[in-house]
Amino acid sequence: MAPRILLARHGQTEWSLSGRHTGRTDVPLLEEGRRGAKLLGERLHRAPWDGLDGVEVRTSPLVRASETCELAGFGERARAWDTLMEWDYGAYEGMTPEQIQAVRPGWLIWRDGAPEGEGVADVTARADEVVAWAREAERDVLVFAHGHVLRAIGARWLGLPVSFGARIRLNPTSLSVLGWAYGEPAVESWNDLGHLVG
């Protein structure tokens, strides 16, 4: 079977709750985020995943992703990878979309990039690196990372421009699976929050 990539977004933080762009600032998880990470881990250790024995695990080195990985029970197996860090928002770090629109009307990260941060081409290159790594694997892989970079990976897995990421929302502590259908890259599931309800 061709390898799939499982995408786990980090748990809730104060900045993600308030809508602030959180790129390279190392914001910790809220208690809600820690709880969600544990529930995600419990799900991945039950059928059909059964702990993902032998699966290669990588995480963004930023604490909100690495702690989510740890609390989900994959910390000992994970390797930190800078390529999975969130989009560098540069001058817009910590600002809400409304604050950014007040200084730059019409701005869209997926089209315009971030001043003093990363452009679309930069994030495309990083997403392509993750996709290439996942496709070269001999088995499924699991990554813990951030909303915008995971959406970029989703777009590039499908062979679409990173700008497609604007159309695929991703909630904190969600699980998504990118795989194959009829030999073509496909979305098996996206933004699955089933482990948080019940």
CA distances to 28, 138, 152 from 85, in Å:
15, 24, 12
50 belongs to a structural domain: yes
51 belongs to a structural domain: yes
98 belongs to a structural domain: no
**CATH number of the CATH domain containing 64:** 3.40.50.1240
19 belongs to a structural domain: no
The mean pLDDT value of the chain amounts to 95
Strands (E), 81-156: 141-145
Domain count, the chain: 1
Give the range of the structural domain holding residue 174, as residue numbers without chain letter.
5-11+30-87+118-196
72 belongs to a structural domain: yes
- Cα–Cα distance between 59 and 79 in angstroms, integer? 6
Q: Catalytic site residue 86?
A: yes
Q: Catalytic site residue 136?
A: no
What's the residue count for the chain? 198
Q: Does pLDDT of 117 surpass 70?
A: yes
Question: Which pLDDT belongs to residue 1?
Answer: 55
Question: Which pLDDT belongs to residue 84?
Answer: 98
The predicted-structure confidence for 140-188, as pLDDT tens digits, reads as follows 999 999 999 999 999 999 999 999 999 999 999 999 999 999 999 999 9
CA distances to 41, 89, 91 from 3, in Å:
21, 31, 38
The predicted-structure confidence for 42-57, as pLDDT tens digits, reads as follows 999 999 999 999 899 9
97 belongs to a structural domain: no
**Residue tagged active-site, from 56, 70, 86, 93:** 86
The predicted-structure confidence for 122-138, as pLDDT tens digits, reads as follows 999 999 999 999 999 88
Question: Which pLDDT belongs to residue 138?
Answer: 87
Strands in 5-9's sheet, in edge-to-edge order, are 78-80, 56-59, 141-145, 5-9, 175-181, 184-192
- Cα–Cα distance between 63 and 56 in angstroms, integer? 20
CA distances to 10, 14, 19, 22, 95 from 98, in Å:
23, 17, 9, 15, 8
Q: At what angle do helices 63-71 and 31-44 cross, to 10 degrees?
A: 50
81 belongs to a structural domain: yes
